[in-house]
Amino acid sequence: MFTVGIATYDDYSGLYFTVNSLKLYHPLVSEVIVIDNNPGSEHGKCNEKILSCSSETFKIKYIKYTDKKTSFCKGEAFKYASNEYVVICDSHVLFLPDSFERLREYYLNYHKPFDFIQGPLVYDDNKTISTHLNKEWGSNFYGKWQTNKTDKEWFEIPAQGMGVFSCKKNEWLGFNKHFTGFGGEEHYIHEKYRQNGGRCICVNHFRWIHRFSRPEGIPFPNNLEDRFRNYIIGRLELNLKYDDVILAFSDNLHAFNMHKIIQEVKLLVL
């Protein structure tokens, strides 16, 4: 059975439909961990009511996380998971039929220690998919969506968007504790698993749909300084060069500000 961890920030509608779709259509999911990063808001008050969906076969745990405002609080779900197999997703994701069955097949037949597992993102036309991210910069984001059209059940990838990912509870390596805000996790966490002897895998039929449109705007903190800072933290932690990060942000961040952030980060990480 699977535990699904969901981090949310002022997204009750997304959370409601994600949780109920798991309960109605995915019997291999026996537990959901909700990590609420803004529990004091009106959305937060509604989010707590999601506990009413809990049952003997579908348990829900609601966790208030207020240490800091960050998308990286999703990693907290591993602390509370009761099952060996954990899936993390955004609070506005729907899984296609048999997604968890295909993921279970991978774990039972092909899993190796410290595999970091993801699946194809399916777009709104239900036909177009993106299986991975390459190593290119665009719009202050490291990675551009690509599609491997293979029929293989699974294959290794450089990275994938972090709207959905999975690993064993005892194989979660964690995000850097200094990350904050939003951005910088793609490629960082993947390289962390590779450096630990693991693989980054796309299970071809572990498929998911992600709501990108936000007509009411983005509710959580999302600024370039946080994103730049996270990229630098990740590179330093993994002992990787970061010249390309500076170049990617040079059109939008002042050189003095980037230098200041780098010096601050070095005091934290090194």
Instruction: Looking at the structure, tell me whether residues 92 and 190 fall in a common domain.
Output: yes
Q: Two tokens at 129?
A: 């998919």
Q: Band of the pLDDT at 270, cuts 50, 70, 90?
A: low
Instruction: Looking at the structure, tell me whether residues 184 and 129 fall in a common domain.
Output: yes
Report d(CA 248, CA 245) in Å as an integer.
5
Instruction: Looking at the structure, tell me whether residues 197 and 97 fall in a common domain.
Output: yes
Instruction: Looking at the structure, tell me whether residues 185 and 262 fall in a common domain.
Output: no
Instruction: Looking at the structure, tell me whether residues 213 and 227 fall in a common domain.
Output: no
pLDDT at position 148 is: 97
Q: 181 — alpha (psi -120 to 50), left (phi > 0) or beta?
A: left
Flag whether pLDDT at 167 surpasses 80: yes
**What average pLDDT does the segment 142-158 reach?**
97
Flag whether pLDDT at 188 surpasses 80: yes
Instruction: Looking at the structure, tell me whether residues 98 and 163 fall in a common domain.
Output: yes
Report d(CA 113, CA 199) in Å as an integer.
9
SS3 70: strand
pLDDT at position 217 is: 66
Type of residue found at 214:
R
User: Which of 173, 189, 217 is the C-terminal boundary of a domain?
Assistant: 217
Instruction: Looking at the structure, tell me whether residues 16 and 150 fall in a common domain.
Output: yes
Residue 261 vs residue 268, higher pLDDT:
261
User: Which of 217, 239, 258 is the C-terminal boundary of a domain?
Assistant: 217
Instruction: Looking at the structure, tell me whether residues 139 and 269 fall in a common domain.
Output: no
Instruction: Looking at the structure, tell me whether residues 138 and 242 fall in a common domain.
Output: no
pLDDT at position 214 is: 66
Q: In CATH, what number is assigned to the domain containing residue 130?
A: 3.90.550.10
**What average pLDDT does the segment 143-157 reach?**
97
Instruction: Looking at the structure, tell me whether residues 14 and 114 fall in a common domain.
Output: yes
pLDDT at position 68 is: 87
Instruction: Looking at the structure, tell me whether residues 193 and 244 fall in a common domain.
Output: no
Domain of residue 167 covers 2-217
For 158-187, letters b (16+ CB in 10 Å) and e give: bbbbbbbbbbbbebbeebbebbbbbbbbbb
Lowest mean pLDDT among 105-109, 155-159, 209-213, 252-256: 209-213
Global pTM reads 0.95
pLDDT at position 125 is: 94
The total domain count for the chain is 2
Share of the chain above pLDDT 70, in %: 97
Instruction: Looking at the structure, tell me whether residues 124 and 148 fall in a common domain.
Output: yes
| Burial of 107 from C-beta contacts in 10 A (0-12 / 13-18 / 19+) | middle
**What average pLDDT does the segment 133-153 reach?**
96
Report d(CA 91, CA 17) in Å as an integer.
9
pLDDT tens by residue, 48-59: 999 999 999 999
pLDDT tens by residue, 202-251: 999 999 999 877 677 666 677 899 999 999 999 999 999 999 999 999 99
Tallying the residues shown for the chain, one arrives at 270
Flag whether pLDDT at 145 surpasses 80: yes
Report d(CA 132, CA 156) in Å as an integer.
9
pLDDT at position 128 is: 96
